[in-house]
Amino acid sequence: MALIGNLKDIKLPSLIQLNCMEHNTAKLTIERAGKFGFIYFENGQVTHAEYDPFLGEEAVYRLLSLIDGRFKVESDVRPPVRTIHTNWSNLLLEGMHKLDHAQDDADNIYFQMFERLLTIRGITSAWVMNANGEMLAGTDTEVPERALNIPFIVLQVKRLAEPYADNRLEFISMLLNNARLLITPYHNEILAITLEKKVKSDTVIPLVKQAVGKI
């Protein structure tokens, strides 16, 4: 019987450690934003990983950076090829070390904020973009197309940012096809958050303010 869950609830390092300490032979599949990654275990060792276009150890390191995503562990599935020869504990330590350093890079500077936002029920993704609508960092690989094609949104966000002396956090809310989009000024950039359509933005905004660090 397969183990199914979300990385919001069980972090990937814990999943790797569990399978290795139990000496499992298994396949771990991770799906996030339509993209799939795979980690194979054989007798308690990580022996192969894929996360297009990466293979082997680099694929594991990239997967460790994921904040959320659905996963499935299937028992008694052997790897198609061996691309990893490093002991699993050393592999995990190196991956966490790289992750710590990556959080200081420009592409990952918002990692901790995104992690807090995704713990809020109803939030499905978040990203930061510049005034031209270009994504700087996000939990998904792409910004919804409709959000990028509305210059009016960016203009209104700029206007919201001007009377910012009272330090209030204001939001623009709009409906996408199957979700709600919240947009707010964030420093010199723009923070955008997608919610499940059934979730009321009024109930989420106070939690977002706490997660973002502006109250």
Write the DSSP string, 61-92. HHHHT-S--EEEEEET---SS----S-HHHHH
Alpha helices by DSSP H, listed for the chain, are 12-21, 57-64, 88-102, 111-117, 145-148, 151-161, 201-212
Domain 106-212 fold: Beta-Lactamase (3.30.450)
Amino acid at 129: M
Residue 105 C-alpha from the chain's centroid: 16
151 against 180, higher pLDDT? 180
Cβ atoms of 192 and 160 within 8 Å: the answer is: no
Residue 60's nearest CA partner among 34, 33, 32, 92 is 92
Amino acid at 116: R
Residues facing 166 on adjacent strands: none
The top-scoring range by mean pLDDT among 15-19, 155-159, 204-208 is 15-19
Predicted pLDDT at 21: 94
Query: Mind listing the pLDDT tens digit for each residue in 76-100?
Result: 999 999 999 999 999 999 988 887 6
Question: Helices then strands (H, E): number in the chain?
Answer: 7, 11
In total, the chain counts a number of residues equal to 215
Q: How many CB atoms lie within 10 A of CB 4?
A: 11
Indicate whether 206 pLDDT > 70.
Answer: yes
Indicate whether 106 pLDDT > 60.
Answer: no
Tokens standing for 9?
A: 């609830």
Predicted pLDDT at 151: 45
Query: Mind listing the pLDDT tens digit for each residue in 172-200?
Result: 777 777 788 888 877 778 888 888 888 88
Q: How many CB atoms lie within 10 A of CB 82?
A: 12
The domain spans of the chain are: 3-102, 106-212
Predicted pLDDT at 205: 87
**Rounded Cα distance, 204 and 120, in Å:** 8
132 against 8, higher pLDDT? 8
Tokens standing for 65?
A: 């950076």
User: What's the whole-number mean pLDDT along residues 195-213?
Assistant: 84
Tokens standing for 45?
A: 């060792």
Tokens standing for 176?
A: 């996408």
DSSP secondary structure code for residue 108 in this structure: G
Provide the edge-to-edge strand list for the sheet that holds 35-42. Answer: 3-6, 70-75, 26-32, 35-42, 45-51, 54-55
**Backbone φ and ψ of 97, nearest 5°:** -65, -45
Query: Mind listing the pLDDT tens digit for each residue in 34-74?
Result: 889 999 999 999 999 999 889 999 999 999 988 788 999 99
